Amino acid sequence: MNSQFKIENQLTTIQRKIGVTGGIGTGKTTVSNYLASTYHLPILDADIYAREAVKPGSEILNLIAEHFGMNILLPDKTLDRRRLGEIVFNNFNERQWLEAQIHPYVHQCLLVELQALDVKKYPTVVLTIPLLFEANMTDLVTEIWVVNCSETEQIKRLMERDRLTFAQAQARMNSQMPLAEKIAHADVVLDNSSTLEALLKQVDSAYRGGDG
């Protein structure tokens, strides 16, 4: 009886770690923001740490400037993201080099943040990681939610949101694992090809269907 109590007690301390991912422009932020505002879940956003990795004066930004040249920096010494994007989204080897600098930093930041969260206070946490599969960060989560929409809708959103040409939007999409492959490894697939209300109903169902 005592050993059974110990096992049950251990099970209650297992943290539910929801990994929200998908394609670029599919609606990952919408899903994460809803989980934060409606269910008051802590959100760990990989993009925040990726931006932190290249802040002015950081070791990683210095490496990037050495690799690509000082013209990759703006006059205020911040990273020229548009210029860098034109390079890495059209050159697989350069993109691999860049990701090898940033991904380990992001992984470590997420791991530290997870370890700092009290499991009893936060039995469920959301990790928004756009490159969850590409960056091999699936070890950080206990379940994977993939936000999906049509390729046409992705391109439209990217062009409007980031003021990109069709070719630029297509290059960014092509830099990621195809959505079909991500869906094949998902525990939950959220279809964001209809209305916001329809998407959020799916989020509610996925969240309540778990242990959180």
Output the pLDDT for position 185.
96
Asked whether residue 16 is domain-assigned, the answer is: no
95 phi/psi in degrees, rounded to 5: -65, -40
pLDDT at 212: 45
The model's confidence at residue 16, banded by pLDDT at 50, 70 and 90, is very high
Domain assignment of residue 15, yes or no: no
Q: Is 194 exposed, middle or buried (0-12, 13-18, 19+ CB in 10 A)?
A: exposed
Q: CA 17 to CA 141: how far, in whole Å? A: 5
- What CA–CA distance (Å, rounded) separates 102 from 73? 17
The least confident of 106-110, 151-155, 195-199, 207-211 is 207-211
Show the tokens assigned to 189. Answer: 């697939």
Q: How far apart are CA 177 and CA 180, in angstroms?
A: 8
Q: What is the dihedral of CA 164, 165, 168, 170, to 10 degrees?
A: 110
Residues 167 and 133 in one domain: no
- 172: amino acid identity, one letter: R
Whether residues 57 and 84 fall in one domain:
yes
Looking at residues 100-104, what average pLDDT do you find?
Answer: 97
162 and 199 together in one domain: yes
pLDDT at residue 1, rounded to an integer: 38
Give the whole-angstrom CA distance, residue 22 versus residue 51.
Answer: 19
The pTM assigned to this predicted structure is 0.87
Lookup: tokens for 50: 């990726």
Number of domains in the chain: 2
Question: Which CATH number belongs to the domain containing residue 131 in this structure?
Answer: 3.40.50.300
Averaged pLDDT, 52-72 = 96
Cβ neighbors of 93 (< 8 A, separation 6 or more) are none
What integer pLDDT is reported at residue 13 of this predicted model? 66
Angle at 193 between CA 43 and CA 31, to 5 degrees: 10
Percent of the chain with pLDDT over 90: 73
Please indicate, yes or no, whether residues 108 and 56 belong to a single structural domain of this protein: yes
- Between 133 and 163, residue with greater pLDDT: 133
* In a shared domain, residues 112 and 79: yes
pLDDT band at 61, cuts 50/70/90? Answer: very high
Is 24 a member of any domain? no
Classify residue 137: in a domain, yes or no.
yes
Question: Are 48 and 99 in a shared domain?
Answer: yes
The more confident residue out of 12 and 112 is 112
Same domain, 138 and 152: no
HSE at residue 103, side-chain half, CA atoms within 13 A, is 16
Domain boundary among the residues 111, 127, 142 is at: 142
* Backbone CA torsion sign across 135, 108, 114, 33: negative
Q: Which residue has the higher pLDDT, 152 or 145?
A: 145
Same domain, yes or no: 135 and 201: no
Per-residue pLDDT, 122: 96
- Give Cα separations from 171 to 92, 118, 167 (angstroms): 11, 40, 6
Chain-centre distance for alpha carbon 36: 15
What is the model's pLDDT at position 209? 84
112 and 166 belong to one structural domain:
no
Residue 96 has pLDDT above 50, yes or no: yes
Residue 178's domain comprises: 145-205
* Final residue of a structural domain among 87, 111, 142: 142
